[in-house]
Structure 1
Amino acid sequence: MEGYKPYKKDSDYSYSLGAFPTFEAIKKRPDCVREVFCDESFTEKEKLFDECKKRNIPCRVNGKQVKRLSDKENVFVTAIIDKAAYEKKLDETCGLMADKSHLVLVNPSNMGNMGTILRSCLAFGIHDVAIISPAPDIMNPKVIRSSMGAIFSLRIKYYDSFDEYREFYQKHEVFTFMLDGKKPLSAADAPKPELYSLVFGNEATGLPEEFLHKGTSVIIPESPEVDSLNITIAVGIGLFLFTQGKF
């Protein structure tokens, strides 16, 4: 092989960039790591080679390969991710867990935001994420890196519409986060259903008006001095309110 080239959506591989997401891939999803490359100057080479050896993952020093994949000077290690192997495990589990609560993202558009949201999900113990298309490619290295490797600990599935998602998960109580939501949320009276789906819309447009009737529409109270919260902040607050007391 001539070497791995910068990511394209139709590639059969992706890659992590940086130490933390690379170690997360190795530890959490070794089944989908083809091989690992690091630069000679990488300060954790011994640990890297040891973790790879434990899992029979090829690991080699090849700084040129790392630089070929990264557009940043401070990246010294990368794991090559086999996309088919990553998706196979999700297919084997038939998608999201029906007995766990979900986060639902409707038509998100920014890869950095998506990665940050995935990391927040893991931080608050939500391991199942539904993404309603159109949406970014979760296998894009920008998403992997901004998630800090959280993507390797989550179950993530795309759906063509919210209604398609609901066909599979009808027992979940739905909460749609909207600027004109009917129920203000607070730490004192946040709902505590056994199973729920927290639904958030696009960064620029939010959820369409029809989502007022898709479940319980909620709003995060905020100062009138701003028009809305950044989606990553809103998701973080929502996750905190619904999971408070669990950690």
Structure 2
Amino acid sequence: MLTNTRSDRVKAVRALSRRSVRSRTGEFLAEGPQAVREAVAFRPELVRDVYVTPEAAERHPAIVEAARAAAVHVHEVSPEVLAAMCDTESPQGVAAVCRTLDLPLEVVLAGLPADALVCVLTNVRDPGNAGTVIRGADAAGADAVVVSDASVDVYNAKVVRSTVGSLWHLPITVGAPVPEILDALRERGIRLLAADGAGTTLLHEADLTGGHAWVMGNEAWGLPAEVRDACDDVVRVPIHGHAESLNLAMAATVCLYASAEARRTSRPD
């Protein structure tokens, strides 16, 4: 059992809380049983090490068994060591060092179906919002999530936790400038729908047939005019009550589910 909170291994894992270290090593830390379970189940080839306390090993034996079956190194650690490794105060007894999983934009677009559903995050800065949008995209059956260069790092610990494992379920590409993303999607034949409170098209009026991408803006200022103008339509989620607006994650999930339902009814049985 690893018990020394000042060991080089512990320091190296803890250092993954810094974006510069994640970028240099190509690794990040997934914390909590749900995230580690999904990583081991869906992308075990990307899991380098699993760290688990004795109590968590007894509580989540399936995670330990799956990791070992996939030839992933499993290390038993004291609760103090795990706390020293992790970003959260209560890491729930299990964490995993994983290799980054994003793919180049052209690779992701090449694998899309004709009626692709894509979510584009432009200048999204809040980790919780970004992670929740990825989770919502996964739940709605989206084919990919595209995260622009000015957005939060998807390997930020809070983003990873907020995806609740969905990070490993669908293709993700990061780092391209917004104009490049929009041009690449359009060349692939994917229509661009800007989700913005300034839209004149209401969600229930929008054409959600065929391949399309929802373009989501910054939490505070939404989408700039040049991005809205570059899209094929600007769509607004109607507010029927007294709420001023929906936050980014809520609006994205509503839009994605509307598209999922349109695609479900248009596909042959």
Both proteins in one fold, TM over 0.5: yes
Equivalent residue number for residue 110 of structure 1: 126
Greater mean deviation of Cα atoms: 35-44 or 119-128: 35-44
For 1:20 and 1:224, the matched residues in 2 are separated by: 35
1:54 and 2:63 equivalent? Answer: no
Structure 2 CA distance, aligned partners of 1:243 and 1:183? 18
Q: Which amino acid aligns with 2:8?
A: E
Of residues 106, 130, 135, the one that matches 2:151 is 135
Structure 2 unaligned regions, length at least 5:
1-6
Q: Which digits, 9 at most, give the CA deviation of each residue in 1:144-182, with x for residues without a partner?
A: 111001111121112443220133222111111111101
Paired position in structure 2 for 1:169: 185
The partner residue of 1:10 within 11, 15, 20 is: 20
SS at match of 2:29: strand
Aligned-partner SS, 2:55: coil
* Structure 2 CA distance for partners of 1:138 and 1:14, relative to 1, 3 Å: same
Which stretch of the first structure deviates more once superposed, 177-186 or 40-49?
A: 40-49
Q: 1:92 to 1:117 in 2, by over 3 A?
A: closer
* One-letter code aligned to 2:99: D
Matched, 1:183 2:205: no
Distance 1:236 1:106, change over 3 A: same
- C-alpha spacing 1:14/1:74, structure 2 compared with 1 (3 Å): closer
State the 1:45 CA deviation: 4.4
2:90 aligned with 1:80: no
Q: Any residues of structure 2 matched to 1:1-247 within 5 Å, and which?
A: 2-3=8-9, 4-6=13-15, 7-11=17-21, 12=25, 13-42=27-56, 43-63=58-78, 64-70=80-86, 71-73=88-90, 75-83=92-100, 86-87=101-102, 90-91=103-104, 94-96=107-109, 97-99=111-113, 100-170=116-186, 171-186=189-204, 189-213=205-229, 214-223=231-240, 225-244=242-261, 246=264
Moved more, 72-81 or 17-26: 72-81
C-alpha displacement at 1:10, in angstroms? Answer: 1.9
- 8 Å contact from structure 1 (residues 38, 66) kept in 2: yes
| Contact kept in structure 2, 1:66 and 1:75, CA below 8 Å | no
Q: Unaligned regions of 5+ residues in structure 1, if any?
A: none
Q: Secondary structure at the match of 1:222?
A: coil
Give, in whole Å, the separation in 2 of the partners of 1:200 and 1:93. 20
- 1:17-41 deviation digits (Å, cap 9, x = unpaired): 1101100011111111101011111
TM-score, with length taken from structure 1: 0.89
Amino acid at match of 1:173: R
More helix by share: 2
Query: Which whole-Å CA distance do the structure 2 matches of 1:182 and 1:167 have between them?
Result: 23
State the TM-score, normalizing by the size of structure 2. Answer: 0.83
CA contact (8 A) 1:173 1:193 kept: no
